[in-house]
Structure 1
Amino acid sequence: MVLVSFTFPFCGDEFVLVPQDGGARALFWPRENALLVADLHLEKASFYARHGQMLPPYDSRETLERVADAIRITGARRLYTLGDNFHDSDGSQRLEEHAAGMLSALTRAVDWVWITGNHDPAMEAKSGGTVVEELVVNGTVLRHIAKRGETRPELSGHFHPRVQVKIRQRHIRRPCAVVGHNEDATCGRMILPAFGALTGGMNAGDPAILKALQPASAVDAIVPAGERLARFPLWREAA
């Protein structure tokens, strides 16, 4: 796996931000040989179509192609989704045949665990995999929405963070991970970017994100920049 330059420490372990489409969308956990993705929002277009807003109905295919690509890049044998897997709890029932076949193939290829979110609390694993509300893996909590005050290492989604940078007079917005950590950066909590093809984004420094990661001594955005990772300070505890 040639992703060494995108590796960073988190809570005494190493993680890898998987670069896709010029930003970061997935997180790889080498020790667990696991890929983590948040906010797939599968079948978002069909949800809007039911309410009169017609969108091209191929978002699920595109999202699942991204998942397959991330699995190929990392060689992951397990995949955890961090909630809002479908745009609503009935989304798995609306998957068209091609997308359903793609998803079934993926859930057979890896050990797939669905963690539910606020959009899909009652989802069913129609195409395979296991459904849970949250999970603890090797001491790290996996859930959809960061729990303010959590003192254990935590990985979550929900907020769709994006960072905006200015390069040669151009403003560029990219999906990013946001990490809240203690003073010596030995431990903390991380919010993953949204993975789905039809997902927007929230400013990584939005007060809602900063508040969700408290308590913390610092909060940073992390995003691939060329062939390395760039870290952007978002908040620091007053001295």
Structure 2
Amino acid sequence: MTALEIGAATDDGALTIRVANVEVVLRASGALWLAQQRMLVVADLHLEKGSAYAARGQLLPPYDTRETLDRLEREVAALTPRSVVLLGDTLHDGDAQTRIAPTERTRIAALADRLRLIWVCGNHDPDGAGDLGGETATVVEVAGLTLRHDPSPFPIVGEVAGHLHPAARIHGPAGSVRRRCFASDGRRLILPAFGAYAGGLNLRDHAFAELFETKPKGFTIGRCVMAVAYERLSPDRASRTRSVRS
């Protein structure tokens, strides 16, 4: 059994925890920071989700790629990482890279020129980076942790994954609030979606039920990262289930 150890919050709203006895930093942006390795990890950017929906007649403001890259660049500027791992589903679909505007393509290429940019393959982007710059991988091993897109479907030690877009609903005296969140039991960690238009799947959904040996905490993101006990989390109404994870 690996107990979940939670450290003190930092001035910028981040929170340090230990996953499989490895110290990691949960950032308020939804990014993961491995300070000793100077590695920044973000999951599920779903670039060009807006244009994919527009092609099907559901018009959304076409700025999700720009906004997501803005947030990623702010994290890079704040932390000056040596490497950035994009933990799968960085592109929303197989044609997304053909729809990315030249300005945003240039920004991605600039990141690949400045640091090691690793695209982990996801179910939405099984071919990885394509011609956008950087390198493609299926799994990244670092500091005793295994970074992959799709979590293994059973309790496991040392795995960091994305894919499920965890979110937490918390009820209080004034009503309820729903936030994207990290999820961890101290053995493994699931990252929230980083993309501007990526949805969230409630941490109490049955998709999470077999992944953790003990009930995980949700670490909600916003102005700061806050640890929330599983018992404080509420399910969504029946109408809000898997459809939010797309």
TM-score range, shorter chain: 0.7 to 0.9
Q: Aligned equivalents of 2:129 and 2:190: distance in 1?
A: 24
Q: Within the alignment, does 1:42 sit opposite 2:47 as a pair?
A: yes
Aligned to 1:7: 16
Q: Within the alignment, does 1:220 sit opposite 2:217 as a pair?
A: yes
Aligned to 1:140: 145
Instruction: Decide which structure has greater strand share.
Output: 1
Which shifted more, 167-176 or 110-119? 167-176
Aligned to 1:185: none
CA deviation string 1:79-109 (max 9, x = no partner)? 1111101001221122111111221122222
Specify which of 227, 230, 233 is matched with residue 230 of structure 1. 227
- Aligned residue type for 1:64: L
Q: Aligned equivalents of 2:159 and 2:173: distance in 1?
A: 36
Q: Aligned equivalents of 2:231 and 2:173: distance in 1?
A: 21
**Distance verdict in 2 for CA 1:108–1:170, change over 3 Å:** farther
Aligned to 1:179: 184
Aligned to 1:192: 191
Q: Is the 8 A contact 2:179 2:222 kept in 1?
A: no
Name the Cα RMSD after superposition.
2.2
Q: Which runs of 5+ in 1 are unaligned?
A: 182-187
After the TM superposition, which segments of 4 or more aligned residues of structure 1 sit over 3 Å from their partners? 1-5, 149-152, 224-229
Specify which of 161, 166, 171 is matched with residue 161 of structure 1. 166
Q: Which runs of 5+ in 2 are unaligned?
A: 1-9, 233-246
Give SS of 1:218's match: coil
Identical pairs, percent: 34
CA deviation string 1:147-188 (max 9, x = no partner)? 02363410000111111123441311111101134xxxxxx1
**Distance verdict in 2 for CA 1:228–1:131, change over 3 Å:** closer
Q: Aligned equivalents of 2:221 and 2:193: distance in 1?
A: 15
User: What TM-score comes out, normalization by structure 2 length?
Assistant: 0.82
Q: Residue 49 of structure 1: CA displacement?
A: 2.1
**Distance verdict in 2 for CA 1:64–1:14, change over 3 Å:** same
User: What TM-score comes out, normalization by structure 1 length?
Assistant: 0.85
Give SS of 2:208's match: helix
Instruction: Count matched residues.
Output: 223
- Aligned residue type for 1:233: Y
Aligned to 1:52: 57
